[in-house]
Amino acid sequence: MTEPAPGFLWGASTAPHQIEGNNLNSDFWASEGRVPGMERSGDACDSYHRYREDMKLLADAGLNAYRFGIEWARIEPVPGMISRAELAHYRRMIETAFELGLTPVVTLHHFTSPLWFAQEGGWLGEHATERFRAYAEAVSPILEGVEWLVTMNEPNMLAIMVGMAQAMRNQQAGGEWQSPTVDNEGPRPPLPAPDVKIGERLVEAHHAVRDGLRERTGAKVGWTVANRAFVARPGAEEKKRELEYVWEDLYLEGARGDDFVGVQSYSSQWVGPDGIEPHPQHPDNTLVGTAYRPDALSIAVRHTAEVTGGMPILITENGIATRDDTRRIAYTGEALKHLGAAIADGHGIDVRGYLHWSLLDNYEWGHWEPTFGLIEVDRETFERRPKPSLAWLGETARRGLN
């Protein structure tokens, strides 16, 4: 089997709002608790203060990379006011990663924005691209030495969240909070498809910051896309292509000209002649209601390589919501076998790393129940309890994809 190139990244990922705690100036914090069924993030995992412990657990397990985010709402709590103290905080995180032998993969925007940005129209506002460019410029000086830089996490899912927020403001949405990452009990209305107009705005914002970030930091710059790993039923190939454009390919095409693209994959979905088939309830489903499909990662990687023309790929998220850590190990092991087969099949698929989601059990965008982490966190004492899967992933990294 073809092995990945030397320098392959093995690690785990997090998002600031999900782990830091008390992200008081963000749009998501402001919406928490307003909608029935939506839990608050609160102190989260208190990783704002405990990031060193988290990184050390990752490094001590034998892993060499950590993907984490910078929170725009902390950097720029009001328009034009840049917090030097917060810039210094995130620089300390980067330096801690270096010190511990971890390659930092830094994300500038992971779903959450400053509240003021949302109030002036958010990504649909007149000044959205200009605001994002100014934020990227403000952060650039602390990124010295960072090799991998993600402008925006899952713009296709962000487009859905922007659309849902717009519908809530227009009072077109009722009922309980529907997290974009969690299936409710029983039949759930399918997520709305990402609005193409919102998607085009996000592509524009990404392109607006890409070259400037490259010039100022020397980093490889890209963004990450949530891959649905669509599989067509007989006769539904044309419908699949149509859905792929709306859900993924608009954003994968937007990655052309980047230095890499991040693939984020958890499960797969069937497409029939009438569209995406709702996944039925089943004992094997994950805690977020999705099908147990470790093969989705290879489907996602192959499709991404096809659309982007063989661009370097970083697996920036892959994992499973489960309380059973033996199942997490089984799922991840299977996913990695499928990834190794995709790399080895001679189609020029260039994968540079595998970052598991997530390092910690964390706040899942309105819910605490789904547990994706390699490490359990006591939400009262903040004690970190590594699961067997953390040591297993470190050992897998030492063996490689074989």
Task: List, for residues 260-272, the tens digit of each pLDDT value.
Answer: 999 999 999 999 9
Instruction: Tell me which residue of 217, 93, 194, 208 sits closest to 152, measured CA to CA.
Output: 208
Cβ atoms of residues 315 and 297 within 8 Å = yes
pLDDT score recorded for residue 3: 52
The full 3-state SS of the chain, as one line of letters, equals CCCCCCCCEEEEECCHHHHCCCCCCEHHHHHCCCCCCCCCCCCCCCHHHHHHHHHHHHHHCCCCEEEEECCHHHHCCECCECCHHHHHHHHHHHHHHHHCCCEEEEECCCCCCEHHHHHCCHHHCCCHHHHHHHHHHHHHHHHCCCCEEECCCCHHHHHHHHHHHHHHHCCCCCCCCCCCCCCCCCCCCCCCCCCHHHHHHHHHHHHHHHHHHHHHHCCEEEEEEECCCEEECCCCHHHHHHHHHHHHHHHHHCCCCCCEEEEEECCCEEEECCEECCCCCCCCCCCCCCCCCCCHHHHHHHHHHHHHCCCCEEEEEECCCCCCHHHHHHHHHHHHHHHHHHHHCCCCCCEEEEEEECCECCCCCCCCCCCCCCEEECCCCCCEEECHHHHHHHHHHHHCCC
Q: Could you give the domains of the chain?
A: 9-399 (3.20.20.80)
What are the tens digits of pLDDT across the range 74-128? 999 999 999 999 999 999 999 999 999 999 999 999 999 999 999 999 999 999 9
Ranges assigned E (strand) in 78-132: 103-107
Q: What's the one-letter identity of residue 393?
A: L
Sheet holding 275-276, edge to edge: 230-232, 269-272, 275-276
Cβ atoms of residues 58 and 105 within 8 Å = no
pTM: 0.95
Q: What is the pLDDT along the chain (402 residues), one digit of tens a residue?
A: 345 556 999 999 999 999 999 999 999 999 997 878 899 999 999 999 999 999 999 999 999 999 999 999 999 999 999 999 999 999 999 999 999 999 999 999 999 999 999 999 999 999 999 999 999 999 999 999 999 999 999 999 999 999 887 776 665 555 666 677 765 444 455 678 999 999 999 999 999 999 999 999 999 999 999 999 999 999 999 999 999 999 999 999 999 999 999 999 999 999 999 999 988 888 899 999 999 999 999 999 999 999 999 999 999 999 999 999 999 999 999 999 999 999 998 788 999 999 999 999 999 999 999 999 999 999 999 999 999 999 999 999 999 886
Supply angle C-alpha 234, 236, 241, rounded to 5.
135
- Check residue 381 and report its DSSP letter: T
pLDDT score recorded for residue 35: 79
Q: What's the one-letter identity of residue 361?
A: D
Beta carbons within 10 angstroms of residue 87's beta carbon: 17
